Structure 1
Amino acid sequence: MSDNNEIKIFAGSSGKKFADKICEYLKIKPGKSEVINFTEGNIMVKSKETVRDKDVYLVQSIGLEPNNEFTEILFWMDAFKRASAQSVTAIIPFFSYAQGDKKDEPRVSIRGRVCAESIELAGADRVITMDLHSPQIQGFFKNPVDHLYAMPILCEYFMKNYDLSNTVVVSPDAGFAKEARRYSAYLNRPVAIGDKRRLYHNESAEILEIIGDVRDRDALIFDDFSISGGTLVDLARGLKERGARRIFAGLSHILLNDSGVERIENSPIEELVSTDSVNNKVITDSRKIKLVSVAPLFAETIYRVHNGISVSSLFKGVPKKVLKSSNI
């Protein structure tokens, strides 16, 4: 860093491991902080060192406990602003409420917009996040948003560990098709698309058809996240029925619950690779799930933002030093 005394990395309750990895990459010590959970459910946050005139970065995913984690971010933003921090940046590796990006039926909230506005009103000068469920969520913020992509990290992992010469990239549905084409362009492989139908507000969907040639090819499924694993497993079975050979999957964020991990373990998927954007303890003992770290990618972004260096090149490719630190 240009001046390590001017930057402070703090962690919320869901961001401690991620923040430690960021600090390791930047060769600085994490800020001392405390989160107190009272018996009636209230949360209190406190910086245990001065942040006056410092550039402060708060690391906290909105993931497995989204309501508590979101509320905690608001309190941290307010605490740092009231402590006279020069700037406050919210590092949100996974922004759960990005799923609520539109009013697609009567009498519902656009939850993503409410969360974005609240984070800024609480004091965030900037947000750094990754693979929003809907990219237009960036427009819900008035202040700068650095929207990173897991794609290069995931692609580099598969390129290093597997022969992809006879592989097809598969999108689980039409909604992810544009992103799947970005993966296919990076890997220089063709695309197939699953035709998925979701009838209710639950985590189950029905795979109706697969558009594209998958017979006698390895299949590489990409998606932004999964909770139940149902879509991934159903798609994998559909691919097998249509003559696909080996099947792999890559996720930007892994929110799998216990039953989801069990589904993956018993599925045709040989390996599921995701990032550490969410601290998900239920995947620890899985023999099929592997994590690659995007903390170095966030650390490099922080370094560039802090020193006034463009971050746009990170959207297309990742520096070798980042890949080396990402467990690839």
Structure 2
Amino acid sequence: MTTKENAVNTTPAKGTQPPEAAAVLDDVRKTYGGVRAVDGVSLAVRRGEFFGLLGPNGAGKTTLVEIMEGLRKADSGTVTILGHHPWPRDVRLLPRLGVQTQASAFFVRLTAREHLATVAALYDAPRRSVERTLAMVGLTEHGAQRVEDLSGGQRQRLAIASALVHEPELIFLDEPTAALDPQARRALWQVLRDLKSAGRTIVYTTHHLDEAEELCDRVGIMVNGRITALDTPGRLVAAGSPMTRLLVPADRLTLDQAQAIPGVQQATLEGDTVVLETLDSGPVLSAVDAIAGLQGVRTRTATLEDVYLELTGTPQG
């Protein structure tokens, strides 16, 4: 994969700002002691774009997002958010931004509804926005519960509601589906799609690579403070390995039989499954069919997770 080429081709030229950009970063750097947390990052997020930021723990994602939010000052480089510089703290930007963090603060003695009403009042948002936003994140029936009595997943949804209640233009979401059960996670996906359809811009970090592949217009993969790949999920996957994996139940096909099939590059045993890797799946599938039949056989092509592992060498998490 030509990851360097991906990054260069999608990074704005120095000193330029793409039209309709919600966020523009130019050679942004931040160092803590001898650690380069952000090391020369340049990128642009278009208005209305769903942009995902991926990378292993310690890659610099949180620092970069906090610089964009105006919570940290970059050592050098320039940052423009909705036409303004976020540092020093710009009060004109605050109503236009929505921020959800993993360590969100709550008024724990208030009910969920009261908490959200307090946040709405801080932004001078209309009272009706409280009920609308509670419904949006599936918390209407829990609105009368004290925040301290909510489950972890419910608090996560309340944190997201707090970032959305004033209808911001640019929304920063840090692991928004963490602590959510699968049903709530999928429901939030639809909320995020609706926000994008309404013209909101979303900058989003996640450890769920399937989620990023499903939702994001573009993703940036960050390693050691640098953006090592930046493109649409589809193009990143297409530029990766063309290998197809065939997954065959081990009680149907032995490892020796798999390795003897023409066109199989590698065969391995993973639990109760024989995994065949091939560049030409058609003839290999025909050979498997002749030996064992195709019942229970699955195929798996490259995914964003494969690209991520190739670039970082570590599983996301």
The two structures have a TM-score, normalised by structure 2, of 0.29
Which structure carries more relative contact order (alpha carbon 8 Å, separation 6+)?
2
